[in-house]
């Protein structure tokens, strides 16, 4: 992702970048990446005969959530539901 001005997907406010200090960090937003997936299977190179299954994200969608919206349990539940469904931002 490129550095650009970000806005909260939920309330549309501008979010500030994370500031790191010696004793911690000030986080103003959380970033969730999701999108439609496609299942792929292949043989485990470390264990011949064992099959691995992965979900390949076909198209990435970034969802930005400001720290205030993140405190809202319904916002986090909606993000989790969208993540589980492989949904887009729209």
Categorise residue 66: left if φ over 0, alpha if ψ from -120 to 50, beta otherwise. beta
Write down the pLDDT at residue 85.
Answer: 67
Please tell me the pTM assigned to this model. Answer: 0.65
Residues 50, 44 contacting (CB under 8 angstroms): yes
The per-residue pLDDT string of the chain (90 residues; one tens digit each, 9 = 90 and over) reads: 445 678 999 999 999 999 999 999 999 999 988 888 899 999 999 999 999 999 888 888 888 999 999 999 999 898 888 777 655 544
- pLDDT at residue 4, rounded to an integer: 62
């Amino acid at each position: 992702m490129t550095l650009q001005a970000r806005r909260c997907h939920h309330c549309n406010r501008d979010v500030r970048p994370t500031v790191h200090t010696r004793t911690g960090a000030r986080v103003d937003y959380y970033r969730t990446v999701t999108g439609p997936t496609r299942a792929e299977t292949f043989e485990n190179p470390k264990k011949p005969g064992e099959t691995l299954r992965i979900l390949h994200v076909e198209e990435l969608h970034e969802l930005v959530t400001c720290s205030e919206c993140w405190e809202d349990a319904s916002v986090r539940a909606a993000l989790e539901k969208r993540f589980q469904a492989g949904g887009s931002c729209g």
